[in-house]
Amino acid sequence: MDSHRLYGIGIEFPDAIGNGLPRSRGAALLRVLVSSRELWNSGENGIQWFHSWYTREGSCWLSAGQRDDGWYLLHSQETDFVVAPGGEQIYFHTSAGHPVEVSRQFLLNQVIPMVMNLRGTEVIHASSVLTSQGAIVFVGNGGYGKSTLAASLIREQSPLLSDDAVPLVVRGQQAWTSSGPPEMGLWPRARRLLNRNDDSPNKLLVPLRACEHQEGEFPLARIYFLQPSDRVRNVAVKPASGPEAFAELVRASHRLDLTDRRMLERQVNTLHQVASLVSARTLEYPVGVPDPDPLRTAVLSDLT
């Protein structure tokens, strides 16, 4: 297995998972391994399931629990993940016939961010790009247009940092973030912004060119909270107070063990610091499929 750098740490992946990810020269702090079904079943009667996440339609898309021996369990559709108590190893098992690509995306965008939370780093569900002012982050629910807005900025020479998971680290009096996978999940309209023209009406995983993605760690310049509204007709950028920013960051954060009080206290402290250190805005726009052009213009104008 090769070591790759993702979200600021070295991670070892099987070749089928690590293909296309940036290589790391340093030691890996986390290993991802293929597991047997027996590992998942080990001690199954001693599993305490402590949380499940549901789609808007009411179906469960993820369940999290812990075995009596301290190992964490994550179950998503046809893929099972088993996480070491200290977050240094992730084993995964995919059912026969289930696309490895789907499990790979879920691992990179959901499971690893949750494991990083277990290890002590906060990660939010967001998209980030690098501008001349520093890194900027877009926070919002699925379907709000985070990736589309990021693609629009990539087209204007602001490369992507991360499409779906954004780590937050406080160093001294500054908040930092680091890059994720050099790829984006995009619908047709967003793909056309990057000159990816195809006939598929579906959301596709798009590998990015070298000029479209930037690796590394960067200071945070601004956080934008996307807010579609039926009360506005035009795009509006409004200041977000520290308490407002803190509440939105908490809502967007990944967590593995919701019963871990020390983790919750640490997360609250870190996110409070980020909300205090980074200028935040609410980005309002009409409900519906957002037009990226006025959103991009508003963001660039706000940055200057």
pTM of the model: 0.93
pLDDT, average across residues 212-233? 96
Tokens of 55: 């789609």
Q: Which residue has the tokens 């308490």?
A: 243
pLDDT the model gives residue 38: 57
- Per-residue pLDDT of 41-93, as tens digits, reads 655 568 888 888 888 888 888 899 998 889 999 988 788 999 999 999 999 98
Buried b (16+ CB within 10 A) or exposed e, 22-41: eebeeebbbbbeebeeeebe
Q: Walk me through the domains of the chain, giving residue ranges and CATH numbers.
A: 2-119 (no CATH), 123-303 (3.40.50.300)
pLDDT the model gives residue 298: 96
If pLDDT is split at 50, 70 and 90, which confidence band does 13 have? Answer: very high
pLDDT, average across residues 140-165? 94
Q: Which residue has the tokens 């940055």?
A: 303
- pLDDT value at 14 more than 60: yes
pLDDT the model gives residue 151: 96
Q: Which residues contact 255 (CB under 8 A, 6 or more apart)?
A: 114, 117, 263, 264, 267
